[in-house]
């Protein structure tokens, strides 16, 4: 988490750092910034450095004693023609990951998973274009941009893709006492899946909402801020270092459900998109209901409900 935030902030201030380093004649620092920025945008293949970078971001069992991911069936796995477990698949997968949470820890688990190396994880364009974060994410996984033109490009190439459709709104709504997803108005990913011939895999990370406290209320104002691309989340993590997530009793349990098999419709109507969006929401609820007792325990799991906003 500390590495993530440090890389992100240093990316945002990198132009100022470069100017100051040149102004104060610190040419070694200037050269390092230019070198890292150049590496972020050059084409290169992963190697030894990537192996160690990926190992760093994987979940530490000393911090989360329960940190697992589950792929329900072969349909939950990424489409890879050379993989015998997915030889019967004919379509790539679109992984819709919930909940976003404060810092997308479930997303990070999947991003660094050896089973997901063929999946294009689509980040906010502002994050992906910032040089140091771009370099770091390229070392650790297979990142991309979450804007529509980029998504269309990936999907035309039939790449497996992943996206947290709830976005900033889902992060804003996060509560350590409630399981919530922001999905009722998010239909664009379903339309793209129909147009380009994708199956959708509903993914839910149990325990994500318990990693940080978040101030509740004033939803109308905060969701309006989200519509302008402004995060509206006020979080607090571990007592000894609020930036770090809490060590909740639930840990993190990421479940990739069965793929929802969609038809290919080049120009789907609004009604057709709604039909399949409703089916997706039902599939997501089913993943939650089927695994909530495994994640929260038998007694507590019975009382848990997934809120659809």
Q: Which domains does the chain have, with CATH numbers?
A: 2-308 (3.40.1130)
The whole-number pLDDT of residue 59 equals 64
Model pTM above 0.85: yes
Report residue 86's pLDDT band, with 50, 70 and 90 as the boundaries. confident
pLDDT at 95 over 70: yes
> What is the Cα–Cα distance from 107 to 192, expressed in whole angstroms?
21
The SS3 of residue 2 is helix
The whole-number pLDDT of residue 82 equals 82
CB contact at 8 A, 308 and 220:
no
Residue-averaged pLDDT of the chain:
92
Sorted by sequence, the CB contacts under 8 Å of residue 249 that are 6+ apart come out as none
The whole-number pLDDT of residue 3 equals 79
Output DSSP code: residue 306: E
The whole-number pLDDT of residue 231 equals 78
The whole-number pLDDT of residue 271 equals 97
The whole-number pLDDT of residue 229 equals 75
Question: Average pLDDT in the 181-185 region?
Answer: 97
Condensed to tens digits (0 to 9), the pLDDT of residues 124-143 reads 888 888 899 999 999 989 99
The whole-number pLDDT of residue 83 equals 83
The whole-number pLDDT of residue 42 equals 93
Output DSSP code: residue 59: P
Helix (H) or strand (E) run with residue 71 in it: strand 67-71
Question: Average pLDDT in the 168-180 region?
Answer: 95
> What is the Cα–Cα distance from 39 to 44, expressed in whole angstroms?
8
- Phi, psi (degrees; rounded to nearest 5) at 217: 100, 180
Helices (H), ranges, the chain: 2-12, 14-23, 27-41, 48-57, 105-111, 125-129, 131-140, 148-156, 167-172, 188-196, 219-227, 270-296, 298-303
Pairing of strands 179-181, 306-308: parallel
Quick one: which of 171, 119, 124, 121 has its CA closest to 147? 124
The whole-number pLDDT of residue 4 equals 79
Output DSSP code: residue 114: G
pLDDT at 84 over 90: no
Query: Cα-atom radius of gyration of the chain, to the nearest Å?
Result: 20
List Cα–Cα distances, 224 to 102, 179, 214, 219, in angstroms: 18, 21, 17, 8
Least confident piece of the model among 25-29, 87-91, 206-210, 253-257: 87-91
pLDDT at 52 over 70: yes
HSE toward the beta carbon, residue 181, CA cutoff 13 A = 24
Quick one: which of 211, 182, 206 has its CA closest to 289? 206
The whole-number pLDDT of residue 61 equals 63
pLDDT at 93 over 70: yes
């Amino acid at each position: 988490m500390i590495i993530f935030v440090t890389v992100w902030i240093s990316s945002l201030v990198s132009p100022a750092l470069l100017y100051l380093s040149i102004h104060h004649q610190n040419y070694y620092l200037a050269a390092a910034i230019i070198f890292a920025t150049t590496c972020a945008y050059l084409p290169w293949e992963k190697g030894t450095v990537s192996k160690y970078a990926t190992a760093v971001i994987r979940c530490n069992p000393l911090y989360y004693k329960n940190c697992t991911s589950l792929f329900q069936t072969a349909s939950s796995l990424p489409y890879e023609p050379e993989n015998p477990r997915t030889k019967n698949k004919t379509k790539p997968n679109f992984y819709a990951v919930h909940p976003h949470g404060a810092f997308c820890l479930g997303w990070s688990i999947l991003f660094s998973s050896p089973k997901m190396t063929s999946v294009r994880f689509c980040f906010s364009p502002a994050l992906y274009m910032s040089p140091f974060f771009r370099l770091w994410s390229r070392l650790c996984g297979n990142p991309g941009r979450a804007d529509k033109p980029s998504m269309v490009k990936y999907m035309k190439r039939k790449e497996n893709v992943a996206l947290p459709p709830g976005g900033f709104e889902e992060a804003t709504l996060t509560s350590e006492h409630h399981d919530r997803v922001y999905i009722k108005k998010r239909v664009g990913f379903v339309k793209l899946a129909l147009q380009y011939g994708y199956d959708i895999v509903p993914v839910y990370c149990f325990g994500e909402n318990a990693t940080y406290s978040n101030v509740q209320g004033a939803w109308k104002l905060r969701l309006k801020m989200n519509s302008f691309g402004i995060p509206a989340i006020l979080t607090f993590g571990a007592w000894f270092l609020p930036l770090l997530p809490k060590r909740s009793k639930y840990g993190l349990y990421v479940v990739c459900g069965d793929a929802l098999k969609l038809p290919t419709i080049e120009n789907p109507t609004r009604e057709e998109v709604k039909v399949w969006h409703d089916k997706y929401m039902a599939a997501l609820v089913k993943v939650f209901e089927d695994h909530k007792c495994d994640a929260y325990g038998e007694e507590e799991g019975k009382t848990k409900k997934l809120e659809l906003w």
